[in-house]
Amino acid sequence: MAGADNDGIPVEVVEVRVKTGIHGEVYQVLCKVMAGKDKGRVIRRNVKGPCRKGDILLLLETEREAKEIKAR
């Protein structure tokens, strides 16, 4: 869990994969972890709100990964 001295793990958006959600407000992105025990690992996450390649996000944890969204 994140405490007062642990504000998050920085990740860089490498690729924006798909827009999802009822109104297209959620993006599925590939992120490269920049620090911590998973440094260098590329993970898939869902991000609510606008984002683009090169953005830096702060995640509270990097263990979970989003399931890939496939077109029907």
Q: Let me know: does 66 contact 44? Beta carbons within 8 Å.
A: yes
Question: Can you give the residue range of the structural domain that contains 47?
Answer: 9-59
Q: State which residues of the chain have pLDDT below 70.
A: 1-6, 71-72
Decide if 69 is inside a domain: no
pLDDT for 30 equals: 96
Cα separation, 15 vs 18, whole angstroms: 10
How far is the CA of 9 from the CAs of 23, 69, 71, 72, in angstroms? 28, 24, 31, 34
Q: E strand or H helix at 30, and its extent?
A: strand 26-33
For the chain, the first-to-last Cα distance in angstroms comes to: 36
pLDDT for 2 equals: 46
Decide if 65 is inside a domain: no
Decide if 40 is inside a domain: yes
Placement of tokens 């992120």 in the chain? 31
Decide if 66 is inside a domain: no
Decide if 64 is inside a domain: no
Decide if 53 is inside a domain: yes
Decide if 13 is inside a domain: yes
**What's the CATH code of the domain at 53?**
2.40.50.140
**How many structural domains are present in the chain?**
1
